[in-house]
Structure formats: C-alpha cells, structure tokens
C-alpha cells in the first residue's frame, strides 16, 4: 500500500493501472478521465473515485490538480 499527495499542472497522459487499485480524492482542481471504450467523466474538488486493476485510459488535467491517493496492489 502506498499513500501520498500528488499534484500536476494542465496536460494529458495515458494512465495504466496494471494490477493495482488506486483511490483518489481531489483536493483542488479539475480533471477528466476517459477510460478506454467509455465516455469522459469530470472530477472536481471534493470528488473521489477508484481506478481498478486493468484500468486503461486518458487522464486530462484541466486545472492544476492536487489529490490524495492510496494504491493497493
């Protein structure tokens, strides 16, 4: 298990989770996640979500984001 706070400026990256679960809680900012084969979902300050093992998609930081994360795998 790993935990921490992560921050990123606007941009786009491919996210691949492999065999890990990742819980995220957005402290500040706005992101858009587009899982392969699905519609984009927007998350803002106060939102939480989980990316499950095997997750593949695009992480787009729209406004500088800070998140708390917990990974287990």
CA atoms within 13 Å, Cβ hemisphere of 54:
0
**How is domain 2-72 classified at the CATH fold level?**
Jelly Rolls (2.60.120)
User: Stretch 6-13: mean pLDDT, rounded?
Assistant: 97
Cα dist. 44→10, 24, 30, 72 in Å?
Answer: 14, 11, 5, 23
Domain ranges of the chain: 2-72
CA atoms within 13 Å, Cβ hemisphere of 62:
13
Q: What is the pLDDT of residue 65?
A: 98
Q: Are 63 and 7 in contact (CB under 8 A)?
A: no
pLDDT digits (tens, 9 = 90+) for 11-69: 999 999 899 999 999 999 999 999 999 999 999 999 999 999 999 999 999 999 999 99
Flag whether pLDDT at 73 surpasses 90. no
Distance CA 18, CA 10 (A): 24
């Amino acid at each position: 298990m790993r935990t921490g706070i992560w921050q990123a400026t606007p941009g786009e990256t491919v996210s691949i989770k492999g065999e890990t679960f990742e819980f995220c809680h957005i402290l500040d900012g706005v992101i858009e996640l587009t899982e392969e084969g699905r519609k984009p979902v927007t998350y803002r300050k106060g939102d939480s979500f989980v990316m499950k093992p095997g997750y593949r998609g695009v992480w787009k930081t729209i406004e500088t984001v800070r998140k708390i994360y917990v990974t287990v795998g």
